[in-house]
Structure 1
Amino acid sequence: MKAKAFDIQIFKRILAYTKPYQSRYYAVVAFAIALSGFAALRPYLLKQTVDAYIAPKDQHGLLLYITAMGVVLLLEVLSQFYFVFWANWLGQDIIKDIRIKLFKHMLSFRMQYYDNAPVGQLVTRAVSDIEAIARIFSQGLFMIISDLLKMIVVLLFMFYMNWKLTWIVILAMPILVFVTRVFQKKMQLAFEEVRTQIAAMNTFVQERVTGMKIVQLFNREAIEADKFREINAKHKKAWIKTILYNSIFFPIADIISSFTLGFVVLYGGYHILSGDTMTTFGDLFSYTMFISMLFNPLRQIADKFNEMQMGMIAANRVFEILDTNSHIQDTGTLEAPTFKGAIAFKEVRFGYLENEEVIKGISLTVQPGQTIAIVGSTGAGKSTIINLLNRFYEINGGTISIDGTDIKDYSLASIRKQIAVVLQEVFLFADTILANITLNNPNITEADVVAAAQKIGVHDFIMSLPGGYHYNVKERGVMLSSGQRQLIAFLRAYVSNPSILILDEATSSVDTYSEELIQRATETITAGRTSIVIAHRLATVVNADKIVVMDKGLIVEEGTHQELLNKPEGYYKNLYESQFLVEQRDQA
């Protein structure tokens, strides 16, 4: 969606965020008015000083007016200080509120939104785009108001002092206004391109830094460097365009201002020499200041309008995310109790893409306290079941219930509080082990974590690290092995005391020692609670109460390990025997 030159609806929406700060908002406007009055009063006092006291050589009056000019200058400086400081302060408070609202909104998006939204683009919206909104207040709106007020007051003083000289200035202004308008339109398009290129660059860098291991493993450094060079060149080209327009506009504006001043001095000087008492030397002195005070804001107003326009474009992009309705409908009114753990899928259908079903009408029951294993080839739909149970996605048909109640009748927060998941790819934050386990939950103490770690057998491993539970694992847990990260994930799930536990490929990529610890942890944390284990390695699920075999979005077999092995030409039997032969060959 392309932003208009000035979208009044977006502007009104931005101004709505000033409501909590109305007193400061009006104070900034008041200081802008005071600033315009004091700024215009100084040249007028200079005229009076030249005409009434310097020309007649009145020393006493000269001292009085110089003192008055000093007082006015001091008041102008104070007004300028409070105006700039409070305008920036207001802008920072507003973007603080918008950023918090945006982040909370993004936290509630369904996973499908993040499947399609580039991470770098979202980072740009939440950081640099919101900073651009602040400039609407610090460099745009209030500065424009101040400049316009100053120009109006200056013109009033000029007409009062000498209307003939003022008309020379008035006749030159449309030329500068026209040039300014042309410049503003060009800059608007240029700044839109700049924002687009910044978002593209952020997305590219975010993805490459995240996937640096793949880049280096497949020797793609030179290729990615070339791609970045292309993106960077487009970014530079966009900025060069803005620089070019500035380089053309400001010299033209200076020429117009200088010619106007020249005509004023020529016209005024001619009338003084011809004996016209309507024009004085004081007029010429003051008009050199007045023209600068009138034309400088006029030529800079385009630049300030562009700052405002950049903020409007950024606000438009931020509001697009705020207006995005990509939430799981949290209409449930029931607070989920401590679940007994009875789970039922009835004719459940789901697809990540329209008309492409991943789950094709499956029905499945899990009894309270039962451990079931879901197995099958990649893409069979195993992990999708977890996503649906946690309501990361909305099902297309059928029902999912826990303890006989449709999960849509529970509030999202309460149902997810009762379900813990250990994923194959464990995500750890750049924080301590303790913080990654508790996720800063104030109800879980360090003592609780230590006791849980001792119970599932991972305390010794944690204490072997420098700092123990306060060891910082750095971004994504790079300081730990994949097995160690899995152990942290198991402990994180255990201390949350869930009613239902889900293990998704939790032992697929760990070493033998870590697997032994994880096996012990698994036995401990699954005891007495409903557990769903998803695994490729069938050796890890032989003791499950029930094994569910999936293929192409359907359940093709159910039963215990032994029951499934007794089925001649069964899917599970063939899968198990092929894996067993591979393991035997690897051991040999």
Structure 2
Amino acid sequence: MAETMKAKSPHLKRFRYTQDIAVDKPFNWQQLVRLLKYVKPYAKTVMPIAIIAMLVSTAVRLIVPILIGNQIVDKVLEGGGTYQLLLSYVIGIAVLYLLSYIGNAVRIKYVNILGQNVVYDLRHHLFSHVQRLSNRFFDNRSAGSIIVRIMNDINSLQELFTNGIINLLMDIVTLVSIVIILLVISPKLALAVMVIIPIMFYISTKLRKNIRKSWQDVRIQQSRVNSHLNESIQGVRITQSFSQEDNNTEYFHGVNDDTFNSWKTATRKSAMFRPFVEMSNAIGTVILIAYGSYLIINDPGVSVGEFVTFTFFIGMFWEPISRLGQMYNQLLMAMSASERIFEFLDEKPNVEEKEDAVEMDDIQGHIEFDQVQFAYDEDRIALHEISLEMKAGQTVALVGHTGSGKSTIANLINRFYDPTKGSVKIDGVDLRDTKLDGLRQNISVVLQDTFIFSGTIMENIRFGRPDATDEEVMESAKVVGADDFIQRLADGYETEVEERGNILSAGERQLLSFARALLANPRIIILDEATASIDTETELKIQNALKKLLNGRTAIIIAHRLSTIRDSDNIIVLENGRILEQGNHEELMKHQGEYYGLVKSQFQMLDQL
């Protein structure tokens, strides 16, 4: 179906996601051990209770068949025992079953506590780690694929930790105990019944690789569906504006169909194991009936009670084997998910913090670029060994065509990336020698596309400084001119804004970002096209506010609208990652170079309007 859709609609190939491939690899025992380390914090609290409860219920299941066969059948029914003796055995068995019920209830309760706690810890660890990864990590991955690993892949481990570990121990204990009991009762009959086991394990081993690869493919297809969903929801306005709803839905059907087919294939292959175990059970039962009946007739050492006990245990014998097969499938699913989780956890930040990193508590804001070269990849150099200086308290403007390197300079100051060559220094300290949190707490960035979080207006302004008082938040909003529109909202500062602040206009969101930056009280502030989304009237309104915001701070302004940078202390003109010229507005206009041409062309456009 998916192939038919792709052939029918070639334009659907516009979407591209990470092309993960299911790889046939051997079972990674080290990875399993690593996964089980998340159980360690509960090894002395929750685990012992669950294990003891499991042993109690398992012991009851093993004792009851022996009582029925050895005592009730042989001593009461065959041996001429009394009704009172039979009644005592029945009451005893009822008490044992009650004990087994209590044991099972306790086991289920505590394995669920164990599973939920381990999943919580793992998800918290993964999210915290991803939060600390460098921008390059997010440059190469869609938000949807990251969400899949934090949510879906970790959810896939829940069943393993909730039931799998304790059930695995229970099944192993049950299986080993049954084998020992059967061999004690009748070695001949036990060996005859278990002759099918080596064949069963040989065939099941052949299924493992295929099943594991299928579950890997399921995870990959899920990631692609989530990536497309995330992209489609975020870009729904663009989709609707170009009337591409039907084509987008058609593409989703194709991706969804691929996911459905991968699940179908994986579950079909996994489902082959249980019928195979049931067939082995049937063969074992046939052998038991045929050979057991022969021994009862011809071997006086085998009693009817022992045959009945054997019958009970043979039914119990194949049950844990069947569950172990299901457990193996569950383990394969878990390993497939854990591979993807540990891939993220093993990801190291490109921007690393040294052990002896310097804490940037109180900075002045003097910035130096010393022969800095930077490339996002080998084929695309963004900056060509530039050197520049931004003195503390100066307002420096970066101008140039798209792709000239303006935002790259801002990213390097924030240490979102490290330079390929050369060094970036603040107050004479190489940023690679600083602690990231201390550095970034002294820098505020206001972007063109301001991100507003779900929550209240108050919480959004307070985001960069959580300990700020309500009065300080309101004062920041007043300084930048945001207080007027906030007061007009139904609930004022307590107005709830949804994700990305869609109830606010672009200009209102930008004013909130100014208030957020001011409240953080940084020594360095970066305005990356920060006034591009604000209309002329609003821009004039906040010019005075910007003067207060930038006063005494080192400010880097990136702007295409040159009217906003006329008063800058230094204007740096960039082209293809190189500095063409720099100076204040008057100096550059007298020079009549690139900046002069940009200003003239912009005013000509305004005249034409």
> 1:320 — aligned with what?
343
Report how far residue 475 of structure 1 moved: 0.9
Report how far residue 295 of structure 1 moved: 0.6
Distance 1:204 1:210 in 2: 10
Q: Does 1:12 align with 2:33?
A: yes
> 1:544 — aligned with what?
568
Matches within 5 A, 1:119-130: 119-130=143-154
Distance 2:157 2:267 in 1: 21
Matches within 5 A, 1:18-417: 18-23=39-44, 24-47=46-69, 48-55=71-78, 56=80, 58-272=82-296, 274=297, 277-331=300-354, 333-417=357-441
Report how far residue 275 of structure 1 moved: 7.2
TM-score (norm 1): 0.93
Go from structure 1 to structure 2 and tell me whether the alpha carbon gap of 1:399 and 1:259 turns closer, same or farther (over 3 Å shift). closer
Q: Does 1:471 align with 2:495?
A: yes
The answer to whether the 8 A contact 2:464-2:519 is kept is no
Q: Which moved more, 1:150-159 or 1:17-26?
A: 17-26
Report how far residue 528 of structure 1 moved: 2.3
* Partner SS for 2:591: coil
> 2:556 — aligned with what?
532
> 2:510 — aligned with what?
486
The answer to whether the 8 A contact 2:23-2:213 is kept is no
Paired residues, number:
584
Distance 2:266 2:433 in 1: 55
* Partner SS for 1:336: coil
Distance 2:545 2:388 in 1: 26
Go from structure 1 to structure 2 and tell me whether the alpha carbon gap of 1:10 and 1:535 turns closer, same or farther (over 3 Å shift). same
**Match 2:579 to one of 555, 559, 568:** 555
Distance 1:74 1:286 in 2: 21
The answer to whether the 8 A contact 2:373-2:383 is kept is yes
Report how far residue 438 of structure 1 moved: 1.1
Report how far residue 301 of structure 1 moved: 1.1
Distance 2:145 2:363 in 1: 39
CA deviation map 1:9-59 (0-9, x unaligned): 112212223332221334444444433322111111121222222343621
Distance 2:312 2:470 in 1: 69
Distance 1:253 1:362 in 2: 70
Q: Which moved more, 1:391-400 or 1:248-257?
A: 248-257
Report how far residue 87 of structure 1 moved: 2.7
Report how far residue 277 of structure 1 moved: 4.1
Q: Which amino acid aligns with 2:134?
A: R
Q: Which amino acid aligns with 1:83?
A: R
Q: Which moved more, 1:363-372 or 1:513-522?
A: 513-522
> 2:480 — aligned with what?
456
The answer to whether the 8 A contact 1:564-1:573 is kept is yes
Q: Which amino acid aligns with 2:339?
A: N
Unaligned 5+ segments in structure 1 are none
Q: Which amino acid aligns with 1:365?
A: E
Report how far residue 402 of structure 1 moved: 2.0
Q: Which amino acid aligns with 2:309?
A: S
The answer to whether the 8 A contact 1:136-1:311 is kept is yes
Q: Which moved more, 1:99-108 or 1:253-262?
A: 253-262
Q: Which moved more, 1:428-437 or 1:90-99?
A: 90-99
CA deviation map 1:501-529 (0-9, x unaligned): 11110111223443234334312211222
Q: Which moved more, 1:469-478 or 1:226-235?
A: 226-235
Unaligned 5+ segments in structure 2 are 1-21
The answer to whether the 8 A contact 2:24-2:213 is kept is no
Cα RMSD after superposing both structures = 2.2
Q: Which amino acid aligns with 2:500?
A: R
Distance 1:246 1:130 in 2: 20
* Partner SS for 2:157: helix
* Partner SS for 2:377: coil
Go from structure 1 to structure 2 and tell me whether the alpha carbon gap of 1:78 and 1:5 turns closer, same or farther (over 3 Å shift). farther
The answer to whether the 8 A contact 2:464-2:520 is kept is no
The answer to whether the 8 A contact 1:346-1:363 is kept is yes
Q: Does 1:579 align with 2:605?
A: no
TM-score (norm 2): 0.90
Distance 1:179 1:71 in 2: 41
Distance 2:387 2:323 in 1: 68
Distance 1:186 1:544 in 2: 65
Report how far residue 246 of structure 1 moved: 4.5
Q: Which amino acid aligns with 1:445?
A: T
Distance 1:342 1:192 in 2: 51
Report how far residue 451 of structure 1 moved: 1.6
Q: Which moved more, 1:54-63 or 1:369-378?
A: 54-63
Go from structure 1 to structure 2 and tell me whether the alpha carbon gap of 1:71 and 1:3 turns closer, same or farther (over 3 Å shift). farther
Report how far residue 323 of structure 1 moved: 1.4
Go from structure 1 to structure 2 and tell me whether the alpha carbon gap of 1:6 and 1:32 turns closer, same or farther (over 3 Å shift). farther
The answer to whether the 8 A contact 1:53-1:61 is kept is yes
* Partner SS for 1:174: helix
Go from structure 1 to structure 2 and tell me whether the alpha carbon gap of 1:388 and 1:493 turns closer, same or farther (over 3 Å shift). same
Distance 1:22 1:441 in 2: 39
Distance 1:181 1:410 in 2: 53
Report how far residue 391 of structure 1 moved: 0.5
CA deviation map 1:369-414 (0-9, x unaligned): 2212111111111111110001000012222222233333332111
The answer to whether the 8 A contact 1:35-1:76 is kept is yes
Q: Which moved more, 1:12-21 or 1:149-158?
A: 12-21
Q: Which moved more, 1:314-323 or 1:136-145?
A: 136-145
* Partner SS for 1:357: strand
